Amino acid sequence: MTISNFMTAYSKDRTKQYLSLFLVFLSLFTACRKDNSNTIGANFIGTRNGFNAISTDTSSIILFSSKNDSVPTRSLTYFMLGDMNDPIFGKTKSNIYTQFSVPSGFGFGGVAIDSIVLQLGFVSTTSYYGNISTPQDISVYELKEQSVNNADSGYFSNRSYQISSAGTRVLPAPIGYFSGKFNLLDSFYETIGGISFTLIPHIRIKLSPAFCSKLQRAESTGAFLTDAAFQTYINGLAILAQTPDSRLNPGQGAIVYLNPRSSLVSGIAVYYGGGASKIVFPIAPTDLTTNQYSHTTSLALKPYMNVIPSSNNECYVQSNAGIKTRVLIPNIDSMIFDKKTGEKHDIAVIGAQLIFTLADGKEDAVFTVPNNLWLQSSDSIGRIAFSEDYFETYPANYYGGTYDPVNRQYSFNIVRHVQHLLNTYRQTGKSINYGMNLIIPADDYIYGIGASRVVLNTKKAKLNFSYSVIK
């Protein structure tokens, strides 16, 4: 059963869903209620001592894994490139598409171009995920479509781009090609006009003579007058990871993190005048640069996708818009009912914390777990929406999600989320308890982008819940 089908049914016939889930889990939930203000309620954020609090430590939550939603990739901190075959999750591919600009006021003045090299700077010497020793193939193509870079442009991780000529899917010959290992440590040395320069580590891909000729002609067409004119003449570049499967056995391949907008090295480097001069056509902040992600889930993992609840006591979370874990708490609305009289009453949520623990033996020094996860709300068909708790800034680190290596856990405080669910159900009779989504963020203001994944033990997932009845 797919997540979309499940959540649509969940929305259309919610009464039937809740009745079955309520019967299965109500006994578990009520059996672990404890009239105790000093146990669970005293060790997680949101607890307010002095209330006649009811605390629960319940495992009545449902976890299952599903394909993640596509993510916007137009304004990322950095960009990812490469092929990787994770031994558990399967194959991941990251491609880059980008425009580039004309240096202000530049012209060749009739001087011939010697060569052109695409330069892409690494974010750092450790900016990769996976097995960096695997040789990779990267091909560069000229885009056949014009890009629009504005707030309304829909550049998501699953978007397709036109590289082939109209009416065919056959790829043309690439205008540039790289084959080898990504080297994040070695600088590059060159001499221009008799002066030596040292460049920081980066990927270098020499572009074809045909592309050199096209750029040489650009000035005479007026394409150098404005960036808009230039980007009409040359739409941009597609930088594609194309490592063959024969070199991507499980555990091989890596994703590297690049800064195409780095003024230190990135851009289209044009050498001209017989080695006398070099000019870099930059990839400017105003140019469209975007990522495209694709995944081929491993055969071993496929049987456990969209199984509700998870059938092997494991759930999976993967970056690059790969896999998310759906988190359902089907009995939470029942808290508004008095268990003796059945009457509705108001609930004040004192503390609500979800804890997820890693499965044993699923990570190593190469395929590490992410620094942080996001736990987001969901709409009626399972799509991701921001939770109220995500925007809470006090106290510091309230929201949670940072990996705890000592306990091998991620924990989240969801007080506002649960209170909103209960208030809505109490006031309107409508349940908006559509579950939550556990994901690896596509971009993060603390950690930036990152290709990573984690396997969770569903049997150890736990909801700590403390509340008070308002009379």
Structural domain includes residue 60: yes
Length of the chain equals: 471
Residue 49: per-residue pLDDT = 44
Q: Is the pLDDT of residue 386 over 70?
A: yes
Q: Which residues contact 102 (CB under 8 A, 6 or more apart)?
A: 223, 224, 226, 227, 230, 281
- Residue 244: the pLDDT is 96
Report if residue 204 sits inside a domain: yes
> Is the model's pLDDT at 335 over the cut of 90?
no
Q: Which residue has the higher pLDDT, 178 or 469?
A: 178
Same structural domain for residues 214 and 161? yes
Mean pLDDT over residues 396-419, rounded?
A: 94
Quote the Cα angle for 390-393-399, to 5°. 40
Lowest mean pLDDT among 6-15, 174-183, 196-205, 331-340: 6-15
Residue 444 confidence class, pLDDT cut points 50, 70, 90? confident
Kindly state whether residues 60 and 128 are assigned to the same domain: no
Q: What percent of the chain has pLDDT over 70?
A: 86
Same domain, 420 and 379: yes
In a domain, 74, yes or no: no
Is residue 445 predicted with pLDDT exceeding 70?
no
Q: For residue 205, is pLDDT > 90?
A: yes
Q: pLDDT: is 387 or 195 the higher one?
A: 195
Provide the token pair at 353.
């914390």
What pLDDT score was predicted for residue 34? 39
Mean pLDDT, residues 196-215: 97
Split at pLDDT 50, 70, 90, the class of 9 is very low
Q: What is the pLDDT of residue 382?
A: 77
User: Which tens digit of pLDDT belongs to each residue from 232-253?
Assistant: 999 999 999 999 999 999 999 9
Full domain range(s) for residue 440 = 3-69+299-470
Q: Are residue 63 and residue 90 in the same domain, yes or no?
A: no
Regarding whether 214 and 93 lie in a shared domain, the answer is yes
Examine the fold and report which residue of 266, 287, 308 is the final residue of a domain before the chain moves on.
Answer: 287
Q: What is the mean pLDDT of residues 20-36?
A: 37
- What pLDDT score was predicted for residue 119? 98
309 and 199 inside one domain: no
Least confident of 116-125, 398-407, 443-452: 443-452
Q: Residues 159, 85: one domain?
A: yes
- State how many domains the chain has: 2
Q: Tell whether 321 and 264 lie within a shared domain.
A: no
Question: Which pLDDT does position 154 carry in this prediction?
Answer: 78
Give the mean model confidence (pLDDT) for residues 48-67: 72
**Which of the four pLDDT bands, split at 50, 70 and 90, describes residue 3?**
very low
Residues 364 and 271 in one domain: no
Share of the chain above pLDDT 90, in %: 69
Contact 57, 40 (CB under 8 A): yes
Question: Do residues 340 and 258 share a domain?
Answer: no
According to the model, what pLDDT value does residue 450 have? 85
Q: What is the mean pLDDT of the chain?
A: 86
Question: Beta-strand (E) ranges in 32-187?
Answer: 33-34, 54-58, 62-67, 79-86, 90-98, 113-122, 128-131, 136-142, 176-180
Contact 401, 373 (CB under 8 A): yes
Between residues 58 and 27, the one the model is more confident about: 58
pLDDT in the model for residue 461: 94
**Do 274 and 167 fall into the same domain?**
yes
**pLDDT value for 39:** 35
Same domain, 106 and 246: yes
Whole-number pLDDT of residue 457: 97
